[in-house]
Amino acid sequence: MPDTRISVGLAQIAPIWLNREATLEKVVNWIEKAAAEGCTLVVFGEALLPGYPFWVERTNGASFESELQKSLYAHYVAQSVSIDDGDLRRVTATAKRHGIAVYLGVMERAADRGGHSLYCSMVFVDRDGNVQSVHRKLMPTYEERLVWAIGDGNGLRTHTLGAFTVGGLNCWENWLPLARSALYAQGEDLHVAIWPGSARNTEQITRFIALESRSFVVSVSALMRRSDISSNLPHAELLRETADDIMADGGSCVAAPNGEWLLEPQLGDESLYIVELDHQRVLEERHNLDVAGHYSRPDVTRLIVNRKRQTTAEFSDD
């Protein structure tokens, strides 16, 4: 019989905050660590490359025409990721060299939207080193809307990984029932949720999604501490003064298809947590509930998903 198991690595790490190249170096090192441990997939937190915008709520981010906010945003854009320009080339090459798949949260500077707005994107790189999907967060949450643009449905896709069908969402969009349903409808049985960090985000919804979908759910969070604010950053002194000692303390965890913890929320430590998943458990739990299969009524309720990548203009030179 074919092997129905895979090993998943949860890379709960802090970024080299707002420094793309240094964070990229760290990400590559942790991909290699996961590969050395035999992982099929390694997952990193939301917006990890180059980091979550923790300054916004601490420095009056809604102040209009603020020179401070303009300066910090300009630095954020400059340190973000342009996939078209090859900023993830080292990630894809490392994935290919080691035969490991990667989910990575990035701040994407999207060429197809002009190149100056930022999207909170969840990138899936397959074991051959190919970028298979870039999911731009559908709706940034609260203060995130001051620095992140609204995404689209293009990245609502699943991917084959061994016996599993894997998909994922960013942070609070995991609470969107229709976004989850779009993934369930494609056969998702391994759901990946990425977060900036905190067990208050992961400890309830991880088990809830597992119970709803009868899937494995892997939640991966980042870390962020005052000590992670480099003196080289713009307004570094102010950023330190307004920061908390700990702004993101992790909370990475894994739930089985029956809602039981395989890994309870892990707090505070920068570590690679590895969990082995067996697809047989999905089949067992789908016996009494399969929300996209025998427990659905498409003749009564159906979901329509627009996966067209949204652009400002379409050009024809014919």
Assess contact for 135 and 157: CB atoms under 8 A. yes
Residue 39 appears among annotated catalytic residues: no
| 26, 120, 137, 253: the active-site residue | 137
CA terminus-to-terminus distance, the chain? 54
How do 5-12 and 41-43 pair as beta strands? parallel
- The strand pairing partners of 45, in sequence order, are none
| 39, 120, 171, 253: the active-site residue | 171
Distance CA 298, CA 295 (A): 10
In order of 25, 26, 100, 179, 244, the CA distances from 22 in angstroms are 5, 6, 21, 33, 23
In the block, which residue shows the tokens 């330190």?
A: 240
Helix (H, G, I), strand (E, B) or coil at 230: coil
Cβ-Cβ contacts under 8 Å for 293 (sequence gap 6 or more) = 286
How do 246-255 and 261-267 pair as beta strands? antiparallel
Rounded to 5°, the CA angle 302-290-136 comes to 60
Q: 25 — phi, psi (to 5°)?
A: -60, -40
Per-residue tokens: 190: 């391994």
Amino acid at 300: V
Largest CA distance in the chain: 63
Residue 308 appears among annotated catalytic residues: no
Residue 46 appears among annotated catalytic residues: yes
Cβ-Cβ contacts under 8 Å for 180 (sequence gap 6 or more) = 169, 174, 191, 209, 212, 213
Catalytic sites, residue numbers: 46, 137, 171
